[in-house]
Amino acid sequence: MIVFVRTLTAVLSLSVATCVVAPAASAASPRQEAAWGAGLQRIDGYVPLYWDAAKGRLYLEISRFDQELLYQVSLASGVGSNAIGLDRGQLGPTAIVKFERVGPKVLLVQTNYTFRALNAPDAEQRAVADSFATSVLWGFSVESGNSARVIVDATAFFLRDAHGVADRLKATGQGSFRLDESRSAVFLPRTKGFPKNTEVEAIVTFQGDAPGPLVRQTTPAPEALTVREHHSFVELPPPGYQPRSFDPRVGFFPLTTYDYASPITAPLERRLITRHRLEKTDPSAEKSEPVAPIVYYVDNGAPEPIRQALIDGASWWAQAFDAAGFTNAFQVKVLPADADPMDIRYKMINWVHRSSRGWSYGGGVTDPRTGEIIKGNVTLGSLRIRQDILIGTGLMAPYAALDPDDGPELSDLVPDATEDDIARMSLARIRQLAAHEVGHTLGLEHNFAASTYGRASVMDYPAPYVTIAGGALDLSDAYAKGLGAYDLWAIRWGYGADERTANAVAEDGVSRGLRFVDDDDARSPRSGHPLGSLWDNGPDAVAELTRVLAVRQFALSRFGLHNLPIGAPVSTLEVRLLPLYLLHRYQVAAAAKWIGGADFSYAIRTAAGTSPATPFQVVPADRQREALAALLTTLDPSVLTLPASLLAMLPPTAFGYDGGPSEHFDSHETPFFDPLAVASIAADLTVTALLQPERGARLVDFHARDAGNPDFTEVVSALVSKTFASGAQVRPADLALRRTIQHLVVTRLIALAANVDASFAVRAGARHGLRAARLALQTAGDATGTALREDIERYLARPEAPAPRTPPSPTPPGEPIG
Ligand SMILES: [Zn+2]
């Protein structure tokens, strides 16, 4: 659910052709070629192919010289590891290319469309073109031909690592791999010709010297890693597409190019949005059928009931196009059994398997000249739904009713009434996810503000909204069902409006409060927009944090054997505990953004001022302090401590259950479960958020602007006083936990004080906190408390002296949560 791959290709709506064996004489003219092609299989199409079965060689017949076409590389079969990131159906580099004949060679040249001189005289265009590099992707040797058309041997061109698999394996620490041509070959079942596109697929094998662990996990013989890479040559889309100017107030992906012919007083950058071509058959009608609808195809390899959920979720977009003035403009179908998902003509929703859970993607192929999206390509990771099932079984304790009639059936995932609830929630998430990823391929960026005003967009990351009702948890409203107000507005602006009416539509959305906050202002812990958060819920991040803590506490207090199906090892309780124990992690991050935060918009200058009217506004001081107070409650022993009854029965990982995709907490007691490390992990969510260096610097600044705003030292003092204040006598049973959290705070404060990238005032604030902690530890009589005080003293006296410290336990991966 993430990045939009900006690449390109062509929209074609032709029936699927099949390979045709024809005499080579039909390919071209004279005698020479007829003699050359004898006995070869001709595959007719946009760029005709010849297959030499005897020698295993594939030839291209080239007749369109100096004419541009699209060239797209993709990965037809993947490696199956989320961490490596080489997934089935992944799109690779795309280019606008042309064949240039030079004596005995044909060069495949990629045009540079980033730097141009639009509508300028030829000489000016040449000056720009010659100022920047082009790329010759390949040099073919002419085998046969005449002045009109030539035959080139393209076998080596297709049997190369065009997708960059070896580079990716190396970059992800999987070792050095090189392509072995002797174990690579053209894959004929997916090598096809069509009137407007030619598709070639190749089996490519990589020889590895010392394959890394991820390859070892997923590949039968790790030294020989075989995938299939796909190449498409496609006719450029026809003229007539109307590019649309970018507007930062509406979250469409920008396509930025540089126009050196623009007047010197006008911007060099030309910012367009990416979107599909969609025209009304009757442009004057308020509502009209489109000239050609946007049709998506769902992977026929997706099983039921997931397949139907994908169709349902993707189909939500039909409502938006309907509201934007079109009839039947957006359709979703199942890919026909005889169609090829790698065929560039199909906009695909792929269901992809990996060995571990990971992100889903909405990508596509975009014309770099205009921003026209030609192919949408969605990749959905199949393990996502299992993460939702895991969250659901952790929350719901669904195995409470151990009805003997049910029998101990391992296959029966959830043998009681909540089975339906959890499955329904998980399928609701898949619908939402399908809509989200398709949204990317329609041109839409994330909108991380949308969850704060009524689930206004499927382009946000949703956290399951779980409530306590009637003494039980309720999952029925966990995920949104349908598009939101922002989605309808965005499609109306991007597809329903034209260049002339777009601003009025944008203003309409702004006046209705349809806020947009993108990745850069939400994803990083250093971002500081109070509305820009991932996996959060509701308009009030602070109130929601308190509510989520209550839901978490409710589920934790009941957590135990009822969360496990009969037959499952008791140790696997930990796997179910992990997402539940850290249920509040994203709401902590959301609430922290209020502290030293500012509500801002991507406002533009208007005649009257700005739109929206307020470009930047510091979060009110009382709201910042409310957030601080709520965050500090997450450090209460009651939040961090697990029920003693659970600890009393939780064994280490059962024999035979090591490895695999299951996630575990860090432990200093390995192989035992470590409740102190676990508490430290949860506490660290808050401690790290409060001591975030950019947040600290903003606090210093905002306090300087208005003394009513909290200063960074106020935040540090509150943290230290929460975790160190003596107050009531600490029970011996709580002392170990208390010292663990204090050690975490001291470690984070020393790291911040030593962080040369942090502002001096922030580092000074950290030292201020250390001095306060030292003071509080003055009376500590136990070994840990004394050592902690000595640690602080040593650091304050000699900050440069090396002092190896036990690092805080790492936070287990959380995203994507469902
Ligand atoms: Zn996304």
Residue 3 C-alpha to ligand 1 middle, in angstroms?
A: 7
Residue 371 C-alpha to ligand 1 middle, in angstroms?
A: 19
Q: What is the DSSP string of 73-98?
A: EEEEE----TTTT--TTEEEEEEEEE
Taking CA atoms, 209 is separated from 176, 178, 179, in Å, by: 6, 9, 12
Helices (H), ranges, 538-671: 541-557, 573-581, 585-592, 621-633, 637-640, 644-647
Residue 382 C-alpha to ligand 1 middle, in angstroms?
A: 16
How far apart are alpha carbons 533 and 527 in whole angstroms? Answer: 9
Residue 437 C-alpha to ligand 1 middle, in angstroms?
A: 6
How far apart are alpha carbons 63 and 158 in whole angstroms? Answer: 19
The first and second tokens of residue 292, run together, are 């050609």
How far apart are alpha carbons 810 and 816 in whole angstroms? Answer: 17
Strand pairing category for 185-186 and 150-153: unpaired
Residue 459 C-alpha to ligand 1 middle, in angstroms?
A: 6
Taking CA atoms, 672 is separated from 622, 666, 811, in Å, by: 44, 10, 18
Give every CB contact of residue 786 below 8 A, 6+ residues apart in sequence.
Answer: 777, 780
Residue 74 C-alpha to ligand 1 middle, in angstroms?
A: 20
Residue 440 C-alpha to ligand 1 middle, in angstroms?
A: 7
Residue 530 C-alpha to ligand 1 middle, in angstroms?
A: 20
Residue 414 C-alpha to ligand 1 middle, in angstroms?
A: 30
Q: Which segments of the chain have a pLDDT < 50?
A: 1-33, 402-415
Per-residue pLDDT, 801: 86
Residue 370 C-alpha to ligand 1 middle, in angstroms?
A: 23
Residue type, 203: I
Residue type, 574: E
* Contact yes or no for 11/161 (Cβ under 8 A): no
Identify the H or E element spanning 156.
Answer: helix 155-158
For the four alpha carbons of 259, 262, 268 and 271, in that order, the dihedral sign comes to: negative
Residue 815 C-alpha to ligand 1 middle, in angstroms?
A: 12
How far apart are alpha carbons 68 and 49 in whole angstroms? Answer: 18
* Contact yes or no for 10/70 (Cβ under 8 A): yes
pLDDT tens, 161-172? 999 999 999 999
Residue 439 C-alpha to ligand 1 middle, in angstroms?
A: 8
Residue with tokens 């704060």: 452
Residue 337 sits at φ, ψ, to 5 deg, of -60, -30
Whether this prediction's pTM lies above 0.75 is answered by yes
Residue 446 C-alpha to ligand 1 middle, in angstroms?
A: 6
The DSSP bridge partners found for residue 200 are 231
* Contact yes or no for 177/166 (Cβ under 8 A): yes
How far apart are alpha carbons 782 and 59 in whole angstroms? Answer: 80
How far apart are alpha carbons 685 and 800 in whole angstroms? Answer: 27
Residue 405 C-alpha to ligand 1 middle, in angstroms?
A: 44
Total residue count of the chain as it appears in this document: 818
Residue 378 sits at φ, ψ, to 5 deg, of -105, 135
| Secondary structure in 3-state letters for 743-771 | HHHHHHHHHHHCCCCCCHHHHHHHHHHHH
Residue 739 C-alpha to ligand 1 middle, in angstroms?
A: 40
Coil, helix or strand at residue 22: coil
Q: What is the DSSP string of 711-728?
A: PHHHHHHHHHHHHH---S
Residue 586 C-alpha to ligand 1 middle, in angstroms?
A: 17
Residue 362 C-alpha to ligand 1 middle, in angstroms?
A: 7
Residue with tokens 């994908």: 310
Closest CA to 483 of 508, 507, 514: 514
Residue 689 C-alpha to ligand 1 middle, in angstroms?
A: 24
pLDDT tens, 657-678? 987 667 889 999 999 999 999 9
Residue 239 C-alpha to ligand 1 middle, in angstroms?
A: 30
Closest CA to 811 of 659, 678, 671: 678
Per-residue pLDDT, 727: 61
Residue 372 C-alpha to ligand 1 middle, in angstroms?
A: 20
Count of beta carbons in the 10 Å neighbourhood of residue 804? 5
Residue 608 C-alpha to ligand 1 middle, in angstroms?
A: 35
Residue 213 C-alpha to ligand 1 middle, in angstroms?
A: 28
How far apart are alpha carbons 465 and 108 in whole angstroms? Answer: 53
Residue 2 C-alpha to ligand 1 middle, in angstroms?
A: 4
Residue 350 C-alpha to ligand 1 middle, in angstroms?
A: 15
Residue 319 C-alpha to ligand 1 middle, in angstroms?
A: 20
Coil, helix or strand at residue 143: strand
Residue 526 C-alpha to ligand 1 middle, in angstroms?
A: 20
How far apart are alpha carbons 89 and 76 in whole angstroms? Answer: 5
Q: Is 39 exposed, middle or buried (0-12, 13-18, 19+ CB in 10 A)?
A: exposed
Residue 751 C-alpha to ligand 1 middle, in angstroms?
A: 33
Phi-psi bin for 731: left (phi > 0), alpha (psi -120 to 50), beta?
beta
Residue 221 C-alpha to ligand 1 middle, in angstroms?
A: 34
Residue 26 sits at φ, ψ, to 5 deg, of -70, -20
Residue 443 C-alpha to ligand 1 middle, in angstroms?
A: 11
Count of beta carbons in the 10 Å neighbourhood of residue 636? 12
Residue 431 C-alpha to ligand 1 middle, in angstroms?
A: 14
* Contact yes or no for 230/258 (Cβ under 8 A): no
Residue 504 C-alpha to ligand 1 middle, in angstroms?
A: 27
Residue 238 C-alpha to ligand 1 middle, in angstroms?
A: 30
Residue 420 C-alpha to ligand 1 middle, in angstroms?
A: 27
Residue 736 sits at φ, ψ, to 5 deg, of -60, -45
How far apart are alpha carbons 73 and 93 in whole angstroms? Answer: 6
The DSSP code for 727 is -
Per-residue pLDDT, 728: 59
* Contact yes or no for 272/370 (Cβ under 8 A): yes
Residue 363 C-alpha to ligand 1 middle, in angstroms?
A: 10
The first and second tokens of residue 731, run together, are 């029970």
Helices (H), ranges, 400-494: 418-441, 485-491
